[in-house]
């Protein structure tokens, strides 16, 4: 059976209501429809130290989160938009994933080869395409595979205060995007599980 691990990069701590969590939960629920077991964490509730090593020393919570990413077939990175950019928490996650470059084996195989990445983005301002592109570029760089049509996002009307969590219903277009993203991610993860990337050296 396939598994997915989602990391919510909201700036909201604890169990405070989060639009990012709402979208992440919907994406994970869609994956469950394709026989994928799912779990998630809120990154800001963990002390992720700055740096580009797998383990930044005492008190660093990243190694445990990284193990959950490593143990899953699918990694879902969820972020809000702030000032048209991925939030600082999402950028820190990408910085910590830079450690993958030091873990490539003697055959040229990344530890992330064979794993699928998904990105979901929310905000009440423009920037969803930019944020999605920036995060997918980083995730592809460190070895994740990206399924086609893999973009789930919602942005509210400019200069308004409505958040995704305030919506009574999921917009039809977004519901369709979530279904496509989940279907293609599960399909690609299954293919890679059965036929991993070959060594390059």
pLDDT one-digit tens code per residue, 113-148: 999 999 999 997 789 999 999 999 999 999 999 999
| Whole-Å CA distances, 76 to 88, 147, 187 | 17, 12, 15
Cβ distance 3 to 40 under 8 Å?
Answer: no
Q: What are phi and psi of 119, to 5 degrees?
A: -125, 135
Sign of CA dihedral 101, 104, 106, 107: negative
Q: What are phi and psi of 120, to 5 degrees?
A: -135, 140
Q: What residue has token string 């059965």?
A: 194
Tens digits of residue pLDDT in 8-58: 999 999 999 999 999 999 999 999 999 999 999 999 999 999 999 999 999
Q: Where are the domains of the chain?
A: 2-194
- Please tell me the distance from the alpha carbon of residue 62 to that of residue 11, in angstroms, as a whole number: 17
Please give the model's pTM, rounded to 2 decimal places.
0.96
Q: Does domain 2-194 correspond to CATH entry 3.40.50.360? A: yes
- Please tell me the distance from the alpha carbon of residue 189 to that of residue 201, in angstroms, as a whole number: 24
């Amino acid at each position: 059976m396939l598994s997915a691990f989602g990391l919510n990069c909201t700036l909201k701590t604890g169990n405070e209501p989060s639009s990012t969590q709402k979208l992440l939960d919907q994406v994970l629920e869609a994956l469950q429809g394709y026989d994928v077991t799912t779990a998630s964490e809120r990154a800001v509730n963990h002390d992720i130290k700055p740096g580009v090593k797998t383990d930044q020393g005492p008190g660093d919570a990243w190694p445990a989160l990284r193990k959950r990413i490593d143990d899953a077939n699918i990694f879902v990175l969820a972020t809000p938009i702030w000032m048209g950019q991925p939030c600082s928490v999402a950028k820190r996650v990408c910085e910590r994933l830079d450690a993958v470059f030091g873990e490539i084996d003697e055959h040229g195989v990344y530890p992330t080869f064979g794993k699928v990445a998904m990105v979901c983005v929310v905000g009440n301002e423009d920037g969803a395409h930019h944020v999605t592109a920036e995060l997918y570029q980083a995730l592809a760089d460190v070895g994740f595979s990206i399924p086609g049509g893999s973009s789930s996002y919602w942005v509210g009307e400019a200069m308004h205060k409505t958040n995704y969590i305030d919506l009574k219903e999921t917009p039809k277009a977004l519901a369709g995007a979530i279904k496509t993203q989940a279907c293609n991610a599960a399909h690609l993860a299954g293919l890679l599980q059965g036929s991993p990337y070959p060594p390059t050296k």
